């Protein structure tokens, strides 16, 4: 059902799209598809059936972010969360890097900011990361190259992060007399305190396989296999009920914010509501009737053959 277009010598170059073959029943129609990707100077947005692909599009400076990219990302993910037909998001970078952190031109401006301007600027980064982290659609990070500084924060807010083995990572802020503050809550969730202490304090670069061991990544694969690995995860996600996936994401956040005593009533309420929902009723009926639920699109003979 899902396949990878040959990348040739480009490997993990994000200029080659993830190619997903999906039945016509999954095709997303409407003017919003053509309009939603417009108006973002720093991003490219493509729609492939139930999948939205968001590409950081400043390859000439290794997709370093500035205030404009932060605003674009926040706006794009706010729009994506409202589109019922979209069920998976892939976040990646154009060119050879995923995200090199902060744009040097932006940093030059920041040097002259007042405290109030610095606070507002940093809060904008925090709000963007929170928008992606709380997106009800599962977000897969297609980490096609280096992620440095704030770029690692974009990796951390993805639900699943898969990188090309050649990618490198670093928290370089302390070498600049700074600290990776805004991204730290999400990195702590992924990597744990012990790993984060070493990485923050040394600022040392580490490889994609090491990032898997540290918990920042879910997997590291050869560059030529990156699209196939992402497509495989997207296919697995699309077998789940859209509401159940969104609720599961919220559940993971919710239980972390509550005590064990509070989690009993909280989790009971969550599952009781899902069991009574139209999606839950359909899912249980499909299981008992030994058929596929309605959200799993029927596969044509042509799809099976491919």
Give the pair of three-digit tokens for residue 89. 């998001």
Q: DSSP letter at 298?
A: P
The catalytic residue among 131, 173, 257, 302 is 173
Task: Please indicate whether residue 173 is annotated as part of the active site.
Answer: yes
Return d(Cα 74, Cα 64) in angstroms, integer: 16
Return d(Cα 187, Cα 167) in angstroms, integer: 17
Q: What is the DSSP string of 210-243?
A: HHHHHTS-SEEE-GGGHHHHHHHHHHHHTTS-HH
Q: Look up tokens 């196939």; give the residue.
A: 228
Return d(Cα 186, Cα 216) in angstroms, integer: 10
Question: What is the enclosing helix (H) or strand (E) of 302?
Answer: helix 301-305
- CA contacts within 13 A on the Cβ side of 118: 10
Catalytic residue numbers, as ranges: 173
């Amino acid at each position: 059902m899902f396949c990878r277009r040959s990348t040739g010598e480009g490997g993990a170059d994000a200029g080659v799209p993830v190619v997903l073959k999906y039945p016509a029943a999954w095709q997303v129609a409407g003017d919003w598809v053509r309009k939603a990707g417009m108006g973002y100077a720093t991003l490219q947005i493509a729609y492939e059936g139930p999948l939205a692909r968001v590409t950081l599009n400043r390859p000439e400076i290794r997709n370093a972010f500035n205030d404009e990219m932060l605003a674009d990302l926040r706006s794009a993910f706010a729009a994506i969360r409202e589109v019922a037909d979209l069920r998976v998001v892939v976040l990646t970078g154009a060119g050879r890097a995923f995200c090199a952190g902060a744009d040097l031109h932006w940093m030059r401006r920041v040097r002259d900011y007042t405290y109030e301007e610095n606070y507002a600027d940093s809060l904008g980064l925090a709000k963007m990361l929170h928008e992606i982290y709380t997106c009800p659609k599962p977000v897969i990070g297609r980490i096609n190259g280096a992620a440095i500084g704030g770029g690692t924060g974009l990796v951390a807010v993805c639900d699943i992060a898969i990188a090309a083995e050649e990618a490198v990572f670093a928290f370089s802020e302390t070498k600049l007399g700074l600290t990776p503050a805004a991204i730290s809550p999400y990195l702590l969730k992924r990597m744990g305190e012990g790993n984060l202490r070493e990485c923050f304090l040394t600022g040392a670069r580490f490889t994609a396989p090491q990032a898997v061991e540290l918990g920042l990544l879910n997997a590291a694969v050869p560059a030529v296999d990156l699209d196939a690995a992402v497509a495989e995860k997207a296919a697995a996600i699309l077998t789940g009920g859209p509401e159940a996936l969104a609720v599961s994401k919220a559940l993971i956040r919710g239980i972390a914010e509550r005590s064990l005593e509070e989690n009993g009533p909280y989790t009971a309420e969550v599952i009781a509501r899902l069991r009574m929902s139209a999606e839950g009723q359909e899912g249980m009926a499909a299981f008992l009737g030994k058929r596929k639920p309605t959200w799993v699109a029927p596969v044509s003979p042509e799809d099976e053959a491919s």
